[in-house]
Amino acid sequence: MVKYDIAGIKEYYEPKTGKTYRYHRKSGTRLYAEPGTIEFLEEVESAKTKLKTKPKPIPGTLGLVIKEYKASDWFTTLKPRTQTDYNKVIDYLSSIDTLNLRTTTSPDIVKIRDKTFQLKKRSFANYVVSVLSIIFEFAKEKGYCDTNPAKGVRKIRKPKDAPVINRPWTLKEYDIVFNSLPQHLLVPVAISRWTGLREGDVLKLPRTIYNGSTISYKTSKANVKISMPVATPLKVILDNWIEELNSNKNYDAVTLCVNTRGRPWTESGFRSSFFKKIKVLAENGSIGTGLTFHGLRHTVATELRELGFDNRTIADMLGQKTEAMAAHYSKEADLSNKMKGVIQKLEIEHKKNKSV
């Protein structure tokens, strides 16, 4: 996070786009000009003005329902990361607070989707539709509308030539990142590389999950219990790390992964530190673009499929209840070696039957 002389400015780097985004925190207004310029100061003042003149939500409108929704268990029981993602959409929708719920139709939602697609691209436009659908379901329960106009609205399809999001890491890339990261960043990366665990789950793991030979945990998203032997490369890293934790009195956190102050990582704090390192490596050409932490989950699934494991085994490794997501995570697998074996078996069978 970069601090400016002007208070209330939030900045973050988005690895998917390779861009840095800045917002006026209280109003949620996007800032486009460079910090330190007159244009930047003018944008900040304009954002402050919007904040002061923002009208109160009107009964029966989207603005009022959103206010009630955020105070309800529909929102408060969501995971912190999900709340953050929803809030980005809610901030974006603040410009249409006066939208009348009872008169809104599916074509209206389509217009919102398409306009968002022009301004914010495909994934965010589709996410806006999803969040609107949830808000309208909440509104129906409260009696503010009779139908959910967002339900059934088609999502914008991904172009066939679009770059792969969260692509698998190559072994060379992992080795380069491995040798570039400090230990407090390396440990979470290594755990995910050998287990396929999501970032949020890795950062919350207690020290007690590792007994020197196995690790046992429960995934937060699917609530699946997993216990597996620790691969030798990961064991070396964890053994050294446990020794470091035990010898450093400042490292008194109950979590296995901690930051340089010995405290549990926040997801935003870890993400910021991780992507700063990745950005440098990508800019100097050491690794390819588009490398993400979640890509490690795809890496594990891809390797397993290339080794010939079926989707059920991949799903068990990743803590998935169904095989569908296992197929999704491993879809980039190179099956050329597997196909060589298939062709060899076909040839043997044809020779037995003296077929051409």
Identify the sign of the CA torsion 290, 296, 300, 301: negative
The answer, yes or no, to whether residue 161 has pLDDT greater than 80, is no
CA distance 126 to 132: 10
CA distance 163 to 124: 16
Q: Does the predicted model carry a pTM greater than 0.75?
A: no
Which one is predicted more confidently, 80 or 113? 113
Average of per-residue pLDDT across 54-61: 70
Which one is predicted more confidently, 210 or 324? 210
Domains 57-162 and 171-336 share a fold: no
Question: Could you identify the residue written with the tokens 């059934």?
Answer: 152
User: 308: buried, middle or exposed (CB in 10 Å: 19+, 13-18, 0-12)?
Assistant: exposed
State the pLDDT confidence band at 2, using cuts at 50, 70 and 90.
very low
The answer, yes or no, to whether residue 65 has pLDDT greater than 70, is yes
Average of per-residue pLDDT across 258-283: 93
Return the domain boundaries, the chain. Answer: 1-54, 57-162, 171-336
pLDDT of residue 336: 75
Average of per-residue pLDDT across 121-147: 94
> How many CB atoms sit inside 10 A of residue 145's CB?
19
The answer, yes or no, to whether residue 355 has pLDDT greater than 60, is no
Average of per-residue pLDDT across 314-341: 81
Q: At the topology level of CATH, where does 57-162 sit?
A: DNA polymerase; domain 1 (1.10.150)
Q: b/e map of 215-229 (b: 16 or more CB within 10 Å)?
A: bebebeeeeeebeee
Reduced to 3 states (helix: H, G, I; strand: E, B; else coil), residue 5 is: coil
The answer, yes or no, to whether residue 280 has pLDDT greater than 90, is yes
Average of per-residue pLDDT across 203-232: 88
Quote the crossing angle between the two packed helices 171-178 and 183-195, to the nearest 10°. Answer: 150
Residue 91 is encoded by which pair of tokens?
A: 């901030």
The answer, yes or no, to whether residue 159 has pLDDT greater than 50, is yes
The answer, yes or no, to whether residue 117 has pLDDT greater than 70, is yes
Residue 116 is encoded by which pair of tokens?
A: 């968002």
The answer, yes or no, to whether residue 176 has pLDDT greater than 90, is yes
Question: Could you identify the residue written with the tokens 């989207």?
Answer: 62
Which one is predicted more confidently, 152 or 321? 152
171-336 is classed CATH 1.20.120.160: no
Task: Report the mean per-residue pLDDT for the chain.
Answer: 87
pLDDT of residue 57: 62
User: Per mean pLDDT, which range of 14-28, 34-48, 301-315, 319-333 is the poorest?
Assistant: 14-28
State the pLDDT confidence band at 54, using cuts at 50, 70 and 90.
low
